[in-house]
Every structure is written in C-alpha cells, then in structure tokens.
Chain A
Amino acid sequence: MSIEIEDVHKAFESKVVLDGVSLDVREGETLAVIGASGSGKSVLLKTIVGLLPPERGRVTVDGEVVTELKREKLNELRRRVGYVFQFAALFDSMTVAENLTMGLRRIHGMSVEEMARRVTEALTLVEMDGYEDQYPGQLSGGQRKRVGLARAVVTNPKYLLYDEPTTGLDPVTTAVIDRLIAKLDEELNVTSVLVTHDMKSAYRVSDRIAMLHEGRIRFVGTPAEIQNADDNVVRGFIEGRPELVQEASA
C-alpha cells in the first residue's frame, strides 16, 4: 500500500471529526473520499500530509510514518506529495510563475533555466500557458484551480492530494477540471486521493470510492459497487436523498 491510514482519531475541542478512520490507498490508483460537508474529508487529507496531527492512530505514506516524522524528514516526504487546495491557496503577492517556482526552489541544485522549463511544462499541462506573469487576483475561479493543479504537479510528485478541486465551479468548468485530473493521473502515473462531495466528479476520475460518515469509513468500493450499494446511508448520499440517511442513522 502506498498510503495507509490506521485508526486515526481527530477532534477539535469537544467535536470529534475522525473517530477511528482506517483506509488504504493502492499504488497508482485514484481514490475518491466522499461524505457530507463537515464529515472530516479535508481533515483526513491534511493528516496524510502532516498538516494536522491526529490525536491517535498512524498515517504511513511511501513507507514512512508521517505521524512520527521530524520536520526535516517530513519536508522530504512533502516534496513527493502535491496538494491541491479547495480554493487553490495561491500566494496573492506572487505571479503565476512565481507561485509555481516556490516548490521548485526547495529542490537542491535546480538551475533557473530548468525551473522556467518546468513551469512552462506544468502550465501547458493544465492549459494555462501564457499566464506566467498574471497575478492570482487577475484570474477566474477555474483558472486559479488550474494554476493550483499546476503548482501541485510542477515538482513531479509521486502522490497527489486534491481537496474538493471543483467546489464552487460551474458544471462545464467542473468537467474540464475533472478531465485535467484524469489526464494528470494518467500522464504522471501518480497515486491520488480526491476529496469531493460531487458524485459526478467521483465517478469520472476515481478507481475506488470511500465514504466517510460520522467520523468513520462507511463504504469502500469501485464506482460500480457504490452505485449498487445496499447501505441506505451510502445510497441516500449518492442519490441526494436525506430521508434515507436519517432513516438509517435513527
């Protein structure tokens, strides 16, 4: 397994968000994590990359236990992971090219020419070439998300973590971003975890889907399997029928 999450617990003051989550992500696959808003999907993603340390449990990425790594080792691991934020989290004061260069600057011995070449390649991959000198404030929501994707892949990571990359986008732009994610996963041969509550996105890009409900993994299976699931909580969520979820939870 390339990412192993074992019995992870996380709470914010008295609110328990993750209550013993265990999940494995296989090498080369794209796993979508779905669940209601506030179910802890983003928190789970942040524990994978060490942004939020869990109170209990273990997270292993690429054979290294994230929860036990010192800062230097954690930074080495993070160079192998690309993270796409929900609202892109681009650095406002920097141009698109400078945003992409930030990650490259942490790679020892890379020349300025090599950085420029990689930036151009990454922007071409997300169909944003020519926008190098623009500032994030000059871009639309969809364009910002694409630059966020480019920033995540410019360092050639082995793992890609997507935190709701299509939230707030219109259906057409959502489909474009989904196609980009599928293309990146295929061309770069990475292992990906995609957090989303958009079922269409989950079906389009993932090999397997895991559903997070009340702090635990409720279901893991292929897109075909989840569509035929008997569990009313799962069916209620994917079909958008809250009465099924309430019935099952009662």
Chain B
Amino acid sequence: MAIGAAAGFGRFGRFAAQVGRSLTDTRTWAPELMVQMARIGVDSLPIALFIAAFTGIVLALQASYTFTGAVPLYFVGVLVGKTMILELGPVLTGLALSGRVGANIAAELGTMRVTEQIDALETLAYDPLAYLCVPRILAAFIMFPVVVAFADGMGVLAGWLTSINLLDLSTPEFIRGLRLFFLPFDVSFSLIKASSFGLAVSGIGAFFGYTTAGGAEAVGRSTTRAVVASSMVILVLDAFWAVILL
C-alpha cells in the first residue's frame, strides 16, 4: 500500500511538472481561461453563498447559546467574523467546491480520455495539458479566493441579520464585536488558503481525470477519488496554513 501511495505521488509529481511546462504555451490556454473562470468561479457562487448564509446563521445562534450570562453578547460579532473569515468561509467553500469543481473536472477530462477526445486534441497539434488542464487550474487558483471572499461576506451578513432579528443584539453592538479583534491579515489568511484550495481541488481533479484509463466505470472511480483526495488535502492544507501563518 505504501509503495502504491508513493507511486501515486510520483505520478502526480510528474503530471504537475508537465502542467508547469505547458504554462509556456499561452497561445493555447489563454483563450480558454476566461471561460473556465466563469464556469469555476461565477457558476460556483450560488452554492458557496447558500452554505455561507446558513453557516453564519448557525454561528450567531450557537455563539449566543454558548455565551449566555458569562460573556457579553456583542462577542457574537467576534465569533461570527473570526470563525467565518479564518476557518469556515474558506474550508466549507473549499469542501463544497471539491464536490462541484473537482468532480466536474475529473468527470469531464475522464470522459474525454476514454472517448479519445484527448487523443484527438493531440492529433490536431494541441498540447492537451495546455488546452484542458492549465486553464482549469489557473481559473480555480484565481477564482476560489473571489468565491471565498463573497462567502465570508455572506456569512458575516447572515450572522448580523440573525443577531438583530433573533437575538437581543443591536447593529452597533454586533459591529463593535466584529471590529474588536479584526485584523486585515485575517482576510489575507482566508484568501491565501482559498487559493491553495483552488490549486489542490483543480490539480487533483485534472490529474485523476486526465489519467483515467478504461471506460465509464473508470470515469466514476476517478471522480470519486478526486473528491475524496481533494477533501483530505483541503483539511491538511488548512492545518498547514494555521501552523505556518498564525
């Protein structure tokens, strides 16, 4: 099993190096970049905002429940802001997008592989890595932070609306709590994590899809592996950035 895992890492490393080399072929990947940014970023906004809104609501209610009597209620703003921006915004969005974006990339490239569409690209003198993988990976790297920024904002907004409507908290009190321990670095931390999650989700999805061998069953297997592996990597990266940057 250890040998299999090492071989897998080796194959991924070789794939990553090939994708890196294909970055020089801008003529091939540049026209596809905007299309992928829209698909990966803009189209992912609804699900990310949906998750963030309900996370914000629950955070505010649970904070109020925990603080009752012992901690001033305006600390709800602290908890909602800090937790949403530092942790739940990027991580929950990353996990949701590993299902949406990672699975989509793996299934799409896997299907193209088993139906010989990737071979067809090669015979038409395209570098398939430059045409298919580079724009998806770059788009995820660029757009994940954008989506996470919106998710962070939506979470805080939902926490505020919950606080003023369902808790005994006013807007100035919520904002006081929100600003109490806020550091601009928190936003940078959130966006750095989001970019790394974007690289991981798209890179792993592209790797499993591109290297699919077999038929429809193999495409399903690649898709599942991509989602499982990228979810695990997101959690590892989450811990990594906490150790390195906090």
Chain A interfacial positions (CB closer than 8 Å to B): 46, 49-51, 71, 75-76, 78-79, 81-83, 85-87, 89-92, 102-103, 106, 151
Instruction: Please measure, in the bound complex, the distance between the C-alpha atom of A51 and the C-alpha atom of B119, giving whole angstroms.
Output: 7
Instruction: Please measure, in the bound complex, the distance between the C-alpha atom of A71 and the C-alpha atom of B116, giving whole angstroms.
Output: 19
Beta-carbon contact of A49 and B123 below 8 Å: yes
Chain B nearest CB, measured from A17 CB (Å): 15
B87 within 8 A of A: no
Beta-carbon contact of B117 and A78 below 8 Å: no
Beta-carbon contact of B123 and A83 below 8 Å: yes
Chain B interfacial positions (CB closer than 8 Å to A): 111, 115-117, 119-127
Beta-carbon contact of A89 and B124 below 8 Å: no
> Which of B120, B125, B126, B127 makes the CB contact (< 8 A) with A85?
B120
> Which of A79, A81, A83 makes the CB contact (< 8 A) with B120?
A83
Instruction: Please measure, in the bound complex, the distance between the C-alpha atom of A49 and the C-alpha atom of B120, giving whole angstroms.
Output: 11
Instruction: Please measure, in the bound complex, the distance between the C-alpha atom of A8 and the C-alpha atom of B100, giving whole angstroms.
Output: 44
> Which of A46, A71, A76, A103 makes the CB contact (< 8 A) with B124?
A103
> Which of B115, B122, B125, B127 makes the CB contact (< 8 A) with A87?
B115
Most buried by A among B111, B119, B121: B119
List chain A residues, Cβ under 8 A from B127.
Answer: 71, 75
List chain A residues, Cβ under 8 A from B123.
Answer: 49, 51, 78, 81-83
With A71-B127, A87-B115: A78-B122 Cβ-Cβ less than 8 Å: yes
Instruction: Please measure, in the bound complex, the distance between the C-alpha atom of A90 and the C-alpha atom of B117, giving whole angstroms.
Output: 6
Minimum CB distance partner of B120 in chain A: A89
> Which of A78, A86, A151 makes the CB contact (< 8 A) with B116?
A86
* Leading 3 A-B pairs by shortest Cβ distance: A83-B123, A89-B116, A75-B125
List chain A residues, Cβ under 8 A from B122.
Answer: 49-51, 78
Chain A nearest CB, measured from B1 CB (Å): 19
Beta-carbon contact of B126 and A106 below 8 Å: yes
> Which of B117, B121, B124, B125 makes the CB contact (< 8 A) with A92?
B117
List chain A residues, Cβ under 8 A from B111.
Answer: 92
List chain B residues, Cβ under 8 A from A85.
Answer: 116, 119-120
Q: 12 additional contacts, CB 8 Å, given A78-B125, A102-B121?
A: A46-B119, A49-B122, A51-B119, A51-B122, A83-B120, A85-B116, A85-B119, A85-B120, A91-B117, A103-B124, A106-B125, A106-B126
